[in-house]
Amino acid sequence: MSSPSAPIESTKPSRAAFTFILAMIALDFLSFGIIAPVLPDLVRNFEGGDFGRTSLMIGYFGFAWNAMQFVCSPILGAWSDRFGRRPVILLSCFGFSVDYIFMALAPSLRWLFVGRLISGITASNVSTAFAYVTDTTTPDKRAKAFGLISAAFGLGFVIGPVVGGLLGSYNLRYPFWAAAALSLINALYGFFVLPESLPKERRAKSAWHMANPLGSLKLFRSHPELAGLAVVITLYYLAHQSLISIWAIYTEYRYAWNSRNVGLSLGVVGISAALVSGILVGPYVKKFGERVSLASGLIYGSLGFLCFGLARQGWVILATIPFIALWGIAAPAIQSLMAKHVDHSSQGKLQGGINSLRALTGMAGPILYTQVFAAAISPTARIHLPGAPYLVAATLLTSSLLLSLYVTRASALSVPSPATNSPAD
State residue 368's pLDDT score: 81
CA 393 – CA 241 distance, rounded (Å): 9
Q: Dump pLDDT digits (tens) for 231-254.
A: 889 999 999 888 877 776 777 778
What single-letter DSSP state applies at residue 14?
Answer: P
Q: Which residue stretches of 8-138 are H helix?
A: 15-35, 39-46, 51-83, 85-105, 109-122, 125-135
Domains of the chain: 15-192+221-407 (1.20.1250.20)
State residue 213's pLDDT score: 60
> Which of 246, 291, 237 is CA-nearest to residue 408?
291
Low-confidence ranges of the chain (pLDDT < 70): 1-16, 36-37, 40, 49-56, 58-59, 124-125, 154, 161, 165, 203-217, 248, 258-260, 262-263, 343, 345-346, 348, 352, 410-425
State residue 214's pLDDT score: 64
State residue 120's pLDDT score: 80
State residue 395's pLDDT score: 95
State residue 22's pLDDT score: 80
pTM: 0.64
Spell out the long-range contacts of 384-387 with Cβ–Cβ below 8 A and sequence spacing 24 or more. 386/250, 386/253, 386/254, 387/250, 387/254, 387/308, 387/309, 387/310, 387/311
State residue 304's pLDDT score: 92
